[in-house]
Amino acid sequence: MAELAGVSQSAVSRTFTPGASISSKTRAKVLAAAKELGYRPNAIARSLITNRSRIIAVVMAYLENLFYPDVLEELGRRLAAENYHLLLFTGFMDRDSDPVFDQLMQYRVDGIILASTSLSSELSDECTVAGIPVVLFNRTTERESASSVTTRNREGGRLVGEFLVAGGHKRFGYISGLETPPPTVTVSAATARRSRRMASPPSKPAPATTIAPTPKRPPANCSH
């Protein structure tokens, strides 16, 4: 390709390296030669040389939650802006996603994002040794080997409670998550109870509301 384009091999390499310094004229020559030869860069071959795949593995559970498609879309957009690619794996909510670990490591990923799932401490340490950063999304961890991005549920529950009490509300409804919730949902339930305790209880129980069934109308007399 370098011979056909009349440029050096390093110029060809810089043409297909994002952010590399190369003149527009030389770049145009290389791209024209690549089109004529039907050449496309091989990302897998490049990763063997650079030891970087520019692939970020996303292990995600609870996909029926409509929040996570939006998360995936935004992750993909932000990663693409930094010339990274997203590779999705399905994890588990009720246990560690260790079985997925061997699969994703075969792709020589540059990082791992765990959404509503987690790795065991052993595999988290293995990632640290391998130099692969791990980020937990919507999960918390006390391990220094992994970072965590999540909401401050207790503070959120307190703010909601203060808002409701300030509005003079006395009776509250709470819609929880799954019956066997992951840790973050459990924390949310705890903060809901905390919010309810902040509200002043009414002096007497509020009367229950009874909805009486609508009486059936007698059939119309069709006789003449």
Residue 89's region, left for phi above 0, alpha for psi from -120 to 50, else beta, is beta
Domain segments of the chain: what residues?
2-41, 51-149, 153-198
Whole-model pTM over 0.85 = no
Of the ranges 5-19, 21-35, 169-183, the best mean pLDDT one: 21-35
pLDDT of residue 197: 53
CATH level 3 topology of 51-149: Rossmann fold (3.40.50)
pLDDT given for residue 178 in this prediction: 62
| Contact yes or no for 72/60 (Cβ under 8 A) | yes
Query: What is the SS3 assignment for 53-68?
Result: CCEEEEEECCCCCCHH
CA dist 78 → 28, 54, 73, 116, 183 (Å): 28, 13, 9, 20, 27
What is the model's pLDDT at position 167? 92
Band of pLDDT at residue 3, cut at 50, 70 and 90 = confident
Q: Is the pLDDT score of 191 beyond 60?
A: no
pLDDT at residue 177, rounded to an integer: 64
